[in-house]
């Protein structure tokens, strides 16, 4: 970094080998810059420590300099970890973050994306809806820059950032089947209008069985209202009381897995010797539980950064770019709840 004087936009342009206007387009989030040029400018910004005058820019453009992030629950570790990444990504780009918890309340979620007076508070929204269905998202303020997380597919007017839930769930289930488990259960199905994420995970669960030429025992697919510890613990009690209980369980979140493991241990079962357990989300708690939890790990940092970048492109564009379906990578992390302690 250059010391002793204020770093200017021209300094960044000289280091990146582009015009000052191009640097301005990048830092203001305008879309008419190639990804290669955008990356080169961002490297120069980072190297020099350039800080744009965000307050002056926002005042000149009639913006608040704030984005909203709307999630169903703040007590869910997955969202807490994702929010940290979003806040970091927004801060480095000169934006503050407002956070709202909806509890899945449909009326509240609808108000946040339809009431134009909210535009005085924030310039755009990163939104993980729970109460609103796919169709309900179309009934919103069309001028609102919007990026959706979770499983609501883009209608061409907003961006959707997530992972391939079907593929990830199939991979999780195949991992259990490949261990030689013959009665694999699933905890977390939600076969109602707004349960798209759960439905995709159930689809992946079924596909894994088909790929192995196995039938699915419908009694082993357990519905839950949420993806939390209590739901996992309660569902596991039900499964253990079946005439033929499972020898493995695919849980639709790590919290569900932690609840299931609690019940298994309380009932005198060994994990994974008697029942193998896999979760989803790779929350920090799963790496420190006893046993540690095998999980599907989405790239939360990439989801957060991509969501912020796409939202700022929408905020900064005079003509909003077409909505994109953006997939972050995921990986299977094998730990003690399926592999044992070695």
190 in Cβ contact with 223 (< 8 Å): yes
Distance, in Å, from the CA atom of 271 to the CA atom of 292, rounded to the nearest integer, reads 10
Given this model, what pLDDT does residue 185 score? Answer: 98
Could you give all domains of the chain from N- to C-terminal order, each with its CATH number? 9-52 (1.10.260.40), 57-161+300-328 (3.40.50.2300), 165-298 (3.40.50.2300)
Q: Answer whether residue 6 shows pLDDT above 80.
A: no
Query: Considering the chain, what is the average pLDDT of its residues?
Result: 89
**What is the SS3 assignment for 78?**
helix
pLDDT of amino acid 204: 98
112-116: list long-range contacts, CB under 8 Å, 24+ apart.
Answer: 112/68, 112/70, 113/137, 113/140, 113/141, 113/144, 113/146, 114/139, 114/140, 114/141, 115/141, 116/141, 116/143
C-alpha neighbours within 13 Å on the C-beta side of residue 178: 12
Tokens representing residue 310 in the block: 């796409």
Distance, in Å, from the CA atom of 39 to the CA atom of 70, rounded to the nearest integer, reads: 28
Per the DSSP assignment, residues forming a β-bridge with 66 are 96
State the angle between helix axes of 77-92 and 254-266 in degrees (0 to 180), rounded to the nearest 10: 150
List pLDDT tens digits, range 154-192: 777 889 999 999 999 999 999 999 999 999 999 999 988
pTM: 0.80
Give the residue, 150 or 213, on which the prediction is more confident. 213
Q: What's the pLDDT score for residue 4?
A: 40
Of residues 213 and 26, which shows the higher confidence score? 213
Q: Which 8-state DSSP code applies to residue 218?
A: G
Confidence bin at 61 (pLDDT 50/70/90):
low
Q: Which residues contact 232 (CB under 8 A, 6 or more apart)?
A: 187, 224, 251, 253, 255, 256, 257, 258, 259, 260, 262, 263
């Amino acid at each position: 970094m250059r010391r002793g004087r204020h770093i200017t936009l021209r300094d960044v342009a000289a280091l990146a080998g582009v015009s000052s206007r191009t640097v301005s387009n990048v830092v203001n989030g305008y879309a008419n810059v190639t990804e290669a040029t955008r990356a080169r400018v961002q490297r120069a910004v980072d190297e020099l420590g350039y800080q744009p005058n965000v307050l002056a820019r926002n005042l000149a453009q009639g913006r608040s300099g704030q984005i909203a992030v709307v999630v169903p629950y703040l007590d869910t570790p997955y969202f807490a970890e994702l929010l940290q990444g979003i806040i970091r990504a927004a801060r480095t780009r000169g934006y503050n973050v407002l956070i709202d918890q909806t509890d899945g309340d449909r009326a509240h979620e609808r108000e946040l994306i339809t009431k134009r007076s909210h535009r005085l508070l924030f310039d755009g929204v990163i939104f993980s809806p729970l109460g609103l269905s796919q169709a309900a998202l179309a009934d919103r303020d069309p001028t609102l820059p919007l990026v959706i997380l979770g499983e609501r597919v883009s209608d061409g007017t907003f961006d959707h950032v997530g992972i391939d839930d079907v593929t990830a769930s199939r991979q999780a289930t195949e991992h259990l089947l490949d261990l030689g488990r013959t009665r694999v259960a699933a905890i977390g199905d939600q076969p109602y209008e707004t349960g798209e994420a759960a439905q995709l995970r159930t689809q992946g669960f079924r596909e894994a069985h088909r790929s192995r030429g196995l039938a699915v025992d419908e009694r082993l697919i357990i519905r839950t209202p949420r993806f939390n510890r209590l739901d996992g613990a309660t569902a596991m009690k039900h499964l253990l009381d079946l005439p033929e209980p499972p020898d493995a369980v695919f849980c639709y979140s790590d919290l569900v897995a932690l609840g299931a493991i609690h019940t298994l241990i309380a009932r005198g079962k060994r994990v994974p010797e008697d029942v193998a357990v896999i979760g989803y989300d790779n929350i920090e708690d799963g790496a420190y539980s006893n046993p540690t939890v095998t999980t599907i790990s989405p790239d939360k940092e990439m989801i957060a950064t991509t969501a912020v970048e796409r939202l700022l492109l929408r905020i900064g564009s005079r003509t909003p770019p077409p909505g994109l379906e953006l997939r972050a990578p995921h990986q299977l992390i094998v730990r003690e709840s399926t592999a044992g302690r070695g």
